[in-house]
Amino acid sequence: MTDEIISDIKRQFESGGNWPYEFGTHRLDENPFAEQWPDIRLFAGYEDELRRLQENIQRNVNTFVTGPFGTGKTILTRTMYEILEDIDGYRPVFVRVQKGRYSKTMAKRILRELDEPVDSQAGQNELYEDIMDSLQALYEEDIRAVIFYDEVINGSDGTLRQILHLQRDIDDWEPVLVFNGTAHMLDQIHSKIEPLSDRIGEEITLSGLDVDGAMELINKRLRYYCAASEWNDDGCTHDDGDVAPFSRESVELIHQDVTPYPRQIRRECNTVIEEAAKAGREGVDFDFVESVMAASATRKIEELTETGIDVLDALNEQGQASANAVTNALDISPYHVQEALGELEKKGLIRATEAGRGLEYKLTHLAERELSNQRRS
């Protein structure tokens, strides 16, 4: 009993006191959109891309999953990693690429993923040899290694060359590689490390969810956390695709007004449902979502740095522009422009789209509307 009380008190503190939230036959004990990635069952919106990745792995084709930040690259590759964990004949390895050279920490992570002992006193070269021996042993047991490199944008040239050697230095075969990162990083690999570039057989680009994908993402989140759903109890309408307390019109508004990437949709739903739980609403309709998102956008704009405001104004005037175009329009260093663009994108005030091999930025509908309202007032 004491443990239950302590857990409940912790949950109340963490949720701001808004939970549990009950509406109709549903009960949410915590915010379904607060946690980033609790379960593979929550994968949504990129079914075709997941199939393509599956086919590439089966055909031993190395793949680069690309797209702007927040599009769901890590979730896509992590989902495939977890699928392969249950498949005989495959050994998946998932490792985040760290800044700097091929570090001992990264090598140790690979060995742990391979269920190999790690010598804490070993040097980098010794750890590298241990990885090679383990991969060779898997091959001899007819087990295919698939190595997922997450956030490869953090990798230096040295890191990428070590990744290349790890693949090609095995005598009889090459493990399948799956990278995720931005298009800019892929261009760097093409221009600087041609042997690794030659081994990338296909590029899968994530560009955001359509409305049905957003509906599926929201439904699965609600179903996973709803105490009444079949995943947790006897069942409720969430099991049939319902998005209560949201209406379809309110989801369409969220999809229209923010960058339609899983991360941004989840963050916006997080804010909206916190307000709904606080108010004890039975439903979250179009008008309620519009008011919450407008207040949120106003608050985000007011919290911006002076540089962030300048960059936002420049994008508002230009409509859509690259980082270089914004830099040329302002008396600000490229570094600070890029930093401001990252801040604005994280807040969901702008969206990045791939144009050629680079990125261009534009205001979201919500940010454009709220900025216009502020200027008028």
Q: What is the pLDDT of residue 12?
A: 64
| pTM of the model as a whole | 0.85
pLDDT of residue 123: 85
Chain centre distance of CA 289: 23
Instruction: Kindly provide the b/e burial profile for residues 148-162, where b requires at least 16 CB atoms within 10 angstroms of the residue's own CB.
Output: bbbbbbebeeebbbb
Bigger pLDDT: 306 vs 196:
306
Torsion from C-alpha of 318, 323, 324, 328, nearest 10 degrees: 50
Between CA 118 and CA 131 the distance in angstroms is 10
pLDDT range class, residue 172, cuts 50, 70, 90:
low
| Mean pLDDT of the 169-197 span | 81
CA distance 125 to 334: 38
Residue 364 main-chain phi, psi, to 5 deg: -70, 160
- Per the CB < 8 A criterion, the answer to whether 208 and 254 are in contact is no
* pLDDT tens by residue, 49-84: 999 999 999 999 999 999 888 889 999 999 999 999
Question: How many other CB atoms sit within 10 Å of the CB of residue 58?
Answer: 11
- In 151-224, DSSP assigns E strands to 176-181, 202-205
Report the share of the chain in percent with pLDDT over 70: 92
Q: How confident is the model at residue 37 (pLDDT cuts 50, 70, 90)?
A: confident
pLDDT for 242-254, tens place per residue? 999 999 999 999 9
pLDDT at position 170, please?
Answer: 65
Residue 188 pLDDT: 81
More confident residue, 220 or 184: 220
Does the pLDDT value for residue 100 go beyond 60?
Answer: no
Residues contacting residue 376 through CB under 8 Å, at least 6 positions apart: none
Q: Range with the lowest mean pLDDT among 89-93, 144-148, 306-310, 350-354?
A: 350-354
Q: What is the distance of C-alpha 103 from the center of its chain? A: 24
**Cα separation, 373 vs 360, whole angstroms:** 24
Looking at residue 144, what is its pLDDT? 92
Mean pLDDT of the chain: 88
> Given CA atoms 351, 265, 209, 94 in this order, what sign does their dihedral have?
positive
